[in-house]
Chains A and B, each alone.
Chain A
Amino acid sequence: MPGDAVEDLLRRLAPQVLGALVRRYGHFDTAEDATQEALLAAATRWPVDGRPDDPKAWLITVASRRLTDLLRTERARRRREDTVARRLPPDRWLAPAADSAPPDADDTLILLFLCCHPSLPPAGQIALTLRAVGGLSTAEVARAFLVPEATMTRRITRAKQRIRGSGLPFAPPVGADRAARLDAVLHVLYLIFNEGYASTSGPQLHRADLCGEAIRLARMLHELTDDPEAAGLLALMLLTDARTPARTGPGGELVPMAEQDRGRWRGEQIAEGVALVSRVLPHGAVGPYQLQAAVAALHDEAPSMDATDWPQIVALYELLLEVADNPVVRLNHAVAVAMARGPHAGLDLLDGLAADRRIAQDARLPAARAHLLELAGEPEAARQAYLAAAGRSMNLPQQRYLHSRAARLR
């Protein structure tokens, strides 16, 4: 069996194994170490000895044994062993009947909820999710976020301690708590995706992998819940990621959407994203991810910038402002208005944004002004705005792009 196949299988099984262990024994942090060790054992032994008949059962058995070992070596040995024995419900003292279906999918979802608990800081949520649910090693997570492995180890350890300290039960959250936790889960997956998507520059490794991982986890979440926002987030990721091949030129420079070769966008991903949005949008509560996905779908389906359905995009941004008002949405709304009703209508909206302290210092504001001034036929004002935007940007490819736009207007 090729190494890649083993790796894929292990990553799929990792959250199920960890979930089973935590559900049976508690001790999230030690169970996580035990699971990692079982995965490691499988990764080294399966390619040599062959894959066991029931890989998951093998992993759970090995991880359980390892968990017992780890707990035994801890200080309050006897007490902990007693606890473990007591936590094992009587119906688990015997092997389960062969025909009983174990609730694995549920475990993965609970694990995701646990890792994304709102009491953890976002960096901790991300790290823990990638490690516990994504099955990435600490070194891989560290590399993806370009921090030393020791830093990532501390971050993960702190997050695990916090989960232990909080006394959170390993159970699916219910009611209002479930909605809040699902929001956190969606947000964490969105952050992971953006981390992979937004930085394509410099000597940075493994960023495309991060997008792929975010999509994989979003797909899992979508399959485990019937939540329309989970579907919306998956669609948004697919529709955004579909443009990746056309986003950078041969020299690594940014290519704005207006100039991208739309033939290079990934058609299959677009079709899947559009189908998802079309299915969820007409039903029930409309949330920000669905709306953003709908905007992305309109862009992806348009044959060119000019042929884009801008009035429809304006309408979607107006809905988005109602559910999630923030300056970035306002900025995008202003640009869409400019495309639908002319640059001056957009510039008026941007002027209203300049007083918003949350975005006043951001490079995106003068960059959008510059584009609209250029469209309005005011090259000198546009050039100044491009230069102002370049001065505020901290991202080199973006600075290069803005300088080149300014140079064109001389």
Chain B
Amino acid sequence: MIMLYGSQQDYDAMAGRPGGKPPMSAEQVAAMHAHMESVHKELAESGELVDGRGLTAPVHARRVQLRHGAPVVTDGPYPETQEVLAGFTVVDCASFDRATQIAARFVNPDADGEYVDVRPVAEGIEDLDG
């Protein structure tokens, strides 16, 4: 599973809202989508794609907690700069190294320090029982 991260500020920039980061132009957003689409298409063609999803902005998140045994729903308390999961792609490929190679394509070469995480998915409960 390849996990992509973003902050509310990143989402605002994509939505063209002036704020902490300069708003992205329509061309920049389109180029980003085109890149993601081409990577996913390649993975679909090579048969390695299992699933890929993007999540909506953190402001739409809800947090569910138990307080004194009762479930309490609040808006996700995400500070504007904190990065949260923004989307994921699940691949089924030959090796962890191949997954890492695929993951590198999801990192924006123009954004210094940007990162994604790759983590193997457990096949079943026995993987976790040790």
Residues of A within 8 A of B (CB): 143, 146-149, 201-205, 249-253, 390-391, 394, 396, 399-400, 403-404, 407
Docked-complex contact B33 and A201, CB < 8 angstroms: yes
When distances are taken between beta carbons in the complex, the residues of chain A under 8 Å from B16 are 399-400, 403-404, 407
A251 to B33, alpha carbons, bound, how many Å? 10
For A404, what are the chain B residues with a Cβ–Cβ distance below 8 Å?
16
**Shortest beta-carbon distance from A39 to chain B in Å:** 20
A147:B51 contact, CB within 8 angstroms: yes
Within the complex, the shortest CB–CB distance from A393 to chain B, in Å, comes to 8
B26 interface neighbour in A203, A252, A394, A407, Cβ under 8 Å:
A252
Query: Across the interface, do A143 and B26 meet the contact criterion of CB distance under 8 Å?
Result: no
Report how far A365 CA is from B19 CA in the complex, Å: 24
Closest to A149 in B: B50
Q: Is the CB of A252 within 8 A of B52?
A: no
Identity of the chain B residue whose Cβ is nearest the Cβ of A387 in the assembled complex:
B17
Whether, in the assembled complex, B68 has its beta carbon less than 8 Å from a beta carbon of chain A, the answer is no
Contact present for B15 and A390 (CB under 8 Å): yes
The answer to whether B54 and A251 touch across the interface, beta carbons within 8 angstroms, is: no
Interface mask (B3-33 → A, CB under 8 Å = 1, otherwise 0): 0000000000011111000010111011001
**Residues in chain A near residue B75, CB distance under 8 A:** none
Indicate whether A252 sits within 8 Å of B29 (C-beta atoms), given known contacts A143-B44, A202-B54, A394-B56: yes
CB-defined contacts of A391 to chain B, threshold 8 Å: 59
Cβ contact within 8 Å between A396 and B15: yes
| Sample of 9 more A-B contacts, CB < 8 Å, known A253-B30, A399-B14, A399-B15 | A203-B52, A205-B41, A205-B44, A251-B30, A253-B26, A399-B17, A400-B14, A403-B15, A403-B17
Q: Say whether B33 contacts A203, CB under 8 Å.
A: yes
| Set A146, A203, A249, A394: member contacting B36, Cβ < 8 A | A203
B25 to chain A, nearest CB (A): 7
Q: Which of A146, A205, A253, A396 has the most CB of B within 10 A?
A: A396
B44 contact set on A, CB distance < 8 A: 143, 205
B60 close to A (CB within 8 Å): yes
**Taking A251-B29, A394-B56 as contacts, is the C-beta distance between A202 and B36 under 8 angstroms?**
yes
**Residues of the B chain whose Cβ atoms lie less than 8 Å from the Cβ of A146:** 51-53
Complex-state Cα separation, A391 to B50, whole angstroms: 32
Q: Tell me whether A390 and B27 are in contact (CB under 8 A).
A: no
B90 at the A interface (CB under 8 A):
yes
Closest-CB distance, B4 to chain A (whole angstroms) = 11
Assess A251 versus B15: contact at CB under 8 Å? Given A146-B53, A394-B60: no
